[in-house]
Amino acid sequence: MWSNFFLQQDDDGRGGMGALGGAGSKSGRTGKRARPPRMSDSEEGKIKLAFFLVLIGVTLTVLGMGTEFWVELSQPKHFRNNQTCEMAHYGLWKSCVRTLWVTDIDPERESCGPAELPGESNCTYFKFYTSGENAVIFKKTTQKSLHIAGAMLALLSLFMMVMGSVCITMSISKSVPFFLKPATICFVCSGILVLLSIIVFHQSILALLASDHSIPLHHELSWSVACVGSSGAILIIGGLIFLLLSLPYNPLEKCFRQQSSSDA
């Protein structure tokens, strides 16, 4: 009787250990972390093409931010009643006053300019960011708060571009589409911030012109603003492309399939 009891306990112990071992192996299998899906070569090629488009926008942004041709302010051509006239152009960081020869200006143009004509130039950096002083251009005073706000928006957009570029670089190096959605947010936000900086800068120009009416001035946005505006549109488009590439399915193919099935 005792021998049968010990044999039964031994069988139960082995059965319990087997059950525990099976449960442990099962929990080990379920506890293993699933690897994220890796990109195919075609998907990686599309991401690289979209990234190249975005890099064009980043280059245009840096070019526009670093140059002082955001706006041109021109006096009337014969305002001084002599052989020269003055105009000014400035950007986010620096302003330049140019003295041009009236004979070099197009006869059909009533104002002095454009800035590409040869002449004497005197450029100075704005003191907004050092001593906090406003600048005076043709007896007109700049609006410091608006100008600084436009510059800060441009710098913040540049920071978002760098963060988006880091996300895309990590996505390509790791061959995983996980970082595409953060890159989408970064590039779309950077494009919106770039466009907002142009709007704020234009408001600062209007405030400058309204500060004094003793000298009539003609103003026009120049090629630096064209670069920055184009970069904003390119960054938003590039961000939306990254959003489409991050989706688990192609929405265009799905629409075509639904349309073909409804036609059938």
- Confidence tier at 36 by pLDDT (50, 70, 90): low
Instruction: Return the number of other C-beta atoms located less than 10 Å from residue 72's C-beta.
Output: 22
* Number of domains comprising the chain: 1
Percent of the chain with pLDDT over 90: 49
179 is a domain residue:
yes
Q: How far from chain centre, in Å, is Cα 93?
A: 19
Structure tokens at 148: 């600084």
Residue 4 belongs to a domain: no
Structural domain contains residue 252 = no
Specify the pLDDT at position 115: 87
98 pairs with which residues across the strands?
A: 87, 121
* pLDDT average, residue stretch 159-178: 90
Mean pLDDT of 143-148: 91
Q: Does residue 89 lie in a domain region?
A: yes
pLDDT band at 39 (very low <50, low <70, confident <90, very high): low
Alpha helices in 32-143 (DSSP H): 41-66
Q: Contact, 142 vs 94, CB < 8 A?
A: no
Give residue 68's domain range: 41-247
Cα–Cα distance, 255 to 221 (Å, whole number) = 43
Inside any domain, residue 217? yes
Q: What is the pLDDT of residue 28?
A: 44
User: Across all residues in the chain, what is the average pLDDT?
Assistant: 83
Q: What is the pLDDT of residue 254?
A: 52
Phi, psi (deg, nearest 5) at residue 75: -75, 160
- Better-predicted residue by pLDDT, 3 or 105: 105
CA distances from 82 to 105, 130, 210 (A): 13, 37, 27
Whether 222 shows a pLDDT value over 60: the answer reads: yes
Helix (H) or strand (E) holding 72: strand 71-74
- pLDDT of 2 > 50? The answer is no
* Residue 79 resides in a domain: yes
Domain assignment present for 117 = yes
Is 1 part of any domain?
Answer: no
Residues 6 or more apart whose Cβ sits within 8 Å of residue 21: none
Q: Evaluate if residue 21 carries a pLDDT over 80.
A: no
| CATH number of the CATH domain containing 130 | 1.20.140.150
Query: What is the per-residue pLDDT across 100-141, written as a single tens digit (0 to 9) for each?
Result: 999 999 888 889 988 888 889 999 999 888 888 888 898 899
